Chains A and B, each alone.
Chain A
């Protein structure tokens, strides 16, 4: 019986004789828990996410992912990475085509997802005809169309304006409860990390675990960010974050 979603044991990652990007990281993420990954620039957040996806190989240590999750795991990059010569709908259908699973039901799912993400009128638009927010929503739809159980997101909303970002944060929370989706979300925004994570993992500058703290806020809306509890947690992380940045 596997009682964890992700278990990381003494993980180390080093690129070509440079210093360790990730240094001796160990943690276990319980099943059904969504994790926010927070830390200063260059602390190895993206590297950790890429290691989880298998886009990088560890220099030492190991990563175990519940096989049921691993079989249905996908990744959302920091930038939309839409294929420029494919329309929004064709971009969403791409994973299904590559997995030879492009039947009528799957196509219908792609169309429904784009409608749900507010792109129903833009199915036949090419990426250059979409705004940054629309492109990111298309990328999110492309990830969701494969019906993932574990979604790895690398600062997907970082380049978006505040309103679009808040909308997509709420959408992710909605999808989490509707689709029983579990995710690991990399961000450099403390408020975003606290808002989206059941647990927040703070990495220090040397790629070591600084804090792994549960966030118990119950059901969340954007108003949650105005609450005392939310702000108290965010303040704690903010102080730790500042301490990390000041440390040598």
Chain B
């Protein structure tokens, strides 16, 4: 009975979005079928599906390559971002000296840096990985640092009663307190890493970015849409993975409650 209610609530919550999507696709199909917009500018959803099916082997290889680059970039930015945040948190002087430059670096558009990356790392995956890493580093670093700084002062006082070492404070209090912030940072970083990888691929070649770019030069708008949809699906799948991990952690360890 409880399970039925949960399903009912989930359906009620998601139904409006599904209805909207169905209406959008139907309208889109109608606009193209009745030739209100020529299909060399806007292919119908059906044309995009057909293009995806017909070119699936190429799309799949490109998807794998992009996913791999994103995995590397995101993995690196997670490891380095969390480590840097802990170092900045532990050494305030270093934070004051370096963090402003990290913020400045974040404001430089990735599309402007990408040619430099090609010069440094060459064409192909190393540049794409570096591009995904650069754009996804800051949200993880900033969120982790905020999480470490937001530790409940009451809990900090409690820990201090027992004279912990700085390492114990970080491992047993500050990192667990920061986990919700780290996961939020990771969620933001996923979307950005997809952007970084696609931009990197536009310049350095390979993956979905290259597929989209070559489809553009061949006036295959249907294939461009297909590549765009695949990159969105990739980001969405990764967000779902992170949300699942968050839910799993939350079920095992309540991290955001206060007593």
User: Which A residues contact B (CB, under 8 angstroms)?
Assistant: 53, 55, 74-75, 77, 79-85, 94-95, 97-99, 126-128, 135, 146
Q: Is B25 an interface residue (CB 8 A)?
A: no
Q: Are A95 and B255 in contact, CB atoms less than 8 angstroms apart?
A: no
Known: A81-B259, A84-B256. A98 touches B159 (CB 8 A): yes
Additional A-B contacts beyond A84-B256, A128-B257 (7; CB < 8 A): A55-B160, A77-B158, A79-B259, A81-B259, A85-B255, A99-B162, A127-B259
B154 at the interface (CB under 8 A from A): yes
Q: Can you name the residue of chain A whose Cβ is closest to the Cβ of B256?
A: A84
B:232-259 near A, CB below 8 Å: 253-259
Q: How far is the CA of A29 from the CA of B162 in the complex (A)?
A: 25
Chain B residues within 8 Å of chain A by Cβ, number: 21
Contact between B259 and A85 (Cβ–Cβ < 8 Å)? Answer: no
Would you call the interface of chain A mostly helix, strand, loop, or mixed?
A: loop
Partner of B254, one of A77, A128, A146: A128
Q: Quick check: A81 and B158 within 8 Å, CB to CB?
A: yes
Q: Smallest CB-CB separation from A87: which chain B residue?
A: B253
**A55 with B157: in contact, given A98-B162, A98-B163 (CB under 8 Å)?**
yes
A99 to B162, CA, bound (A): 7
16 A-B contact pairs sorted by A residue (CB < 8 Å): A55-B160, A77-B154, A77-B158, A81-B154, A83-B158, A83-B173, A84-B259, A85-B253, A94-B172, A95-B162, A98-B163, A99-B162, A99-B163, A127-B257, A128-B257, A135-B259
B259 touches A80 (CB 8 A): yes
Min Cβ gap A124→B in Å is 12
Cα–Cα distance between A82 and B162 once the two chains are bound (Å): 14
CB of A137 to closest CB in B, whole Å: 13
